[in-house]
Structure 1
Amino acid sequence: MILKYLKEYGPWYILYALSTLTYHFMFYLYHLPQHYFLASLAINLVFFSVWTLQNYQSFKGKLLELESLKAFDDLPQGHLPTEIAYRGLIYHLVAKEAQQVLDIKREQDHLEGLVKMWSHQMKIPVSAISLMIQTHQMNKSELQDQIFRLENDINNLLAYLKYKQDDDDYRFEEISLKACVSGVIKKFSSQCIAKQLHIKLIGDSSIITDGKWLGFCLSQIIDNAIKYSSPASDIKIRIDKNSIEIQDYGIGILEEDIPRLFEQGFTGYSGHEHEKATGLGLYMTKQILDKLRFSIAITSQIGHGTTVIIRKKY
C-alpha cells in the first residue's frame, strides 16, 4: 500500500525536497544563520508529516473502497474536479455498456421469437406430409405444394438471417423489372396452376437496384396474392417507369388492418382465417425495401382484392 501511495504522490515529495534544498542553498549563499533555516524546517516537517498521515489514510481508505467496489452506486462520492470528472466518465461508460447489453438482449429475444414463429409455420407442411404418409393418401400435387411451402419458409428464414447479419449485402446494378418479376412468377407457377390462377404481366422498365433482394420482396407480395386469391381468378402486374403494381381479386384486407400490415408478427383477419401467415413476410419486405429506397403502399377492400404498389424513391 505504501508503494502505491508513493507511486501516486512521489512527485510531490520530490518537489518538497527540491524546494527545501533550494531554500537551504539560498541561506548558504547569503550567509544567513542556519539555525533559522533548521527551525523553520522542523516546524514545516511537523505540518508535512501530519498532512502525510492524513493523506495516506484517505488514500488507503479510498483505494480499499475502490478494490471492493461491486456496483456503480457504491462508487465513493468525490469532491475534487478530477474525481467528479472520472465519476461522470464512468457513469457514461456504464450507461453505454448497459444500453449495448440491452440492445443485444432485445435482438436475441427478437431472433428467438422469430425462429419460434417460423418453426411453428414450418410444422404445417411437415404435419400435412406426415398425415399423407400415415393415411397412405399420397397426392402428388398436394405433396409438391407442401414441399414447396416448406422450402419457401426455410429460404425466407435463411434470407432474413442473412439480411440481419450482413447489412451491407447489396449489389446495385441495372436490371429489367419485367425479368425480375418473371423470375418470381416462374417460382410460383405450380401454385398458380393448382389454384387455376392467371397472372397477367404488363410493361417493362429498367432500374438500378439489387435484383436479388427486390426479387425477395416481390416473392413475398406475389406469394400473398396467390395465397389469398380466389380460385380461377386473375392477378395483374403492371410495370411502369420505376414502379410495380400487383393487383389480385382475392378476399381482401380489413381497412383497419392495413396500417399495421408491416408490423412484425401482425397477421390480421386474412392471416387468421387461412392460418398460413406468420406476419413476417411484409415486415421483412418493408425493411428491405427501405434499404433499397423503395416505397410500398397497399389498398384493399374485403371481397374485392388487394393492390400493392412498389415505387422507387429519389
Structure 2
Amino acid sequence: MKNDMKLTFKVAISILRVTLFITFLVGGIFYLEDIPIKVSLDVLITAIPTIVLYVIFRSYFKIAYYKRLKKIRTFTSIKQLPNTNDLIELEYQRILSDSLKKTADQVTKLEASRRDIHDRYAIWMHNIKVPIAALQLMVENGGNIEGDKRYRMLVQINAIKSYLSEMLNLISLRNGNNDLKITKVDTNTIVRHILKRNSWMIISKNQSLQFSANLPILISDRRWLEIMLEQIIVNASKYTPNEKKIYIKSTSSKNIIIQDEGIGIDENDIKRIFETGFTGETGRDRIEATGLGLYLVGEIARKLGFSIDVASVKGQGTSFIIRQKVEE
C-alpha cells in the first residue's frame, strides 16, 4: 500500500512536470514568434489535455505492470505465473523459473546435508554413551582407587553425560521433534527425580537445598518439562558457590521458582541469556560454559507455552520464575 501511494505520487508529479514544461515551451516559442496571446492560449488549451491524458494512460499501464510484477514475488512455481503475450514479461518469467528451480535444488541439498550432519551427531553421541557408562562402572567398582579420587572421577563422568544429554536434546529440537504427549504432570515428582540424578553436584559443593514440595500440577509434556527444569536447576548449582543455598518453590498454581545464592547475571546480559551460544560476562570466566543450556530452556519454554522471567543481582543470586501461559 505504501509503495502504491509512492507510485501514484510520482505519477502526479510527472503529470505536473510535463504540463509545466509544455506550457513554458509553447509559451516561449509563441512569444519569440510574436504570435498573438489568444492563439497561444487556444493551442495550449487544446494541447495540454491531450498530453495529460497521454501521461495518465502511460502511467496507468506502468502501475498495472508494477502490480503484476509485485504479485510475482509471492509465486513459488512457474505454473502460478499469469499468462502473457508480452515478450519482455515472458523472458522475465523464464529467468524467474530458472531461479526458482536452482533455489529449490539448493534448498533440497542443504536440507539433506543438515539432516545427515544431525543424524551423524546423534549416532555418535548415542554410541559414546556406551563407553562412558562402562567407564563409570569401572570407576565405581575400582577397589584400588582411593575414595576421594573415585568420587572426583565420577563427578567428571556425570558432567560429560550431562553435556551429551544437552546436545542430544538440542538436536531433537532442531530436527523439529514434535512428539508431545500432553498430560497432567506432578512437578514435585519430576523435581525429585532431577535432584536425585544431580545430587552428586550439590553434595560435592556442600550446597544447601530448600525444596518446598508445593509445586503445582501442570498440563504439559512431562519429558520436555523435566529437561527444561533440570537445565535451570543444574545451572543454579553450577553457578552457586560452595555452602550456599538453592531454593525451589511455588507461589501460585501456575508457577515454579528456582532461586539461588550464586554469582548472579550481569544486568546487560539478562535479556540475551536465552540466545544460542551466548555465555555473557559470567560464562566468559568459566571455560566449560557453552551457552547451550539456557538456549535449550528458551526453546522448550516456547514449545510448551511457558514464559520465564529472570531477576538477578550480581554477586547475590538469580531467580527463574517459570509460568505456564493461560489462554483467556
- TM-score, length-normalised on structure 1? 0.62
Q: 1:210 aligns with which of 205, 221, 228?
A: 221
Q: Secondary structure at the match of 2:238?
A: helix
Alignment of 1:116-135 (within 5 A): none
Q: 2:173 aligns with which of 159, 163, 167?
A: 163
Q: CA deviation at 1:263?
A: 1.3
Specify whether residues 223 and 295 from structure 1 end up closer, same or farther in structure 2 by C-alpha distance, changes over 3 A only.
same
Alignment of 1:21-170 (within 5 A): 79=87, 85-98=93-106, 139-170=149-180
1:273 is matched with 285
Q: Secondary structure at the match of 1:235?
A: strand
- TM-score, length-normalised on structure 2? 0.59
Q: 1:261 aligns with which of 254, 262, 273?
A: 273
2:242 is matched with 231
Q: CA deviation at 1:304?
A: 0.5
Q: CA deviation at 1:89?
A: 3.3
Q: Secondary structure at the match of 2:192?
A: helix
Count of aligned positions = 222
Specify whether residues 236 and 161 from structure 1 end up closer, same or farther in structure 2 by C-alpha distance, changes over 3 A only.
same
Q: Partner amino acid for 1:176?
A: D
Give the whole-Å Cα distance in 2 for the aligned partners of 1:298 and 1:152.
23
Q: CA deviation at 1:226?
A: 0.3
Give the whole-Å Cα distance in 1 for the aligned partners of 2:120 and 2:238.
27
Give the whole-Å Cα distance in 2 for the aligned partners of 1:140 and 1:80.
78
2:184 is matched with 174
Q: CA deviation at 1:99?
A: 5.1
Give the whole-Å Cα distance in 2 for the aligned partners of 1:112 and 1:186.
31
Q: CA deviation at 1:274?
A: 2.6
Give the whole-Å Cα distance in 1 for the aligned partners of 2:112 and 2:298.
22
Q: CA deviation at 1:92?
A: 3.1
Q: Specify every segment of 5 or more residues in structure 2 that has no aligned partner in the other structure, as ranges.
A: 1-85, 126-131, 133-138, 140-145
Alignment of 1:288-307 (within 5 A): 288-307=300-319
1:126 is matched with none
Specify whether residues 271 and 291 from structure 1 end up closer, same or farther in structure 2 by C-alpha distance, changes over 3 A only.
same
Q: CA deviation at 1:204?
A: 2.2
Q: Partner amino acid for 1:161?
A: I
Q: CA deviation at 1:138?
A: 6.7
Specify whether residues 84 and 259 from structure 1 end up closer, same or farther in structure 2 by C-alpha distance, changes over 3 A only.
closer
Do the aligned partners of 2:118 and 2:171 also contact (CA within 8 Å) in 1? no
Report which of the two structures shows the higher radius of gyration computed on alpha carbons.
1
Q: Specify every segment of 5 or more residues in structure 1 that has no aligned partner in the other structure, as ranges.
A: 1-77, 116-121, 123-128, 130-135
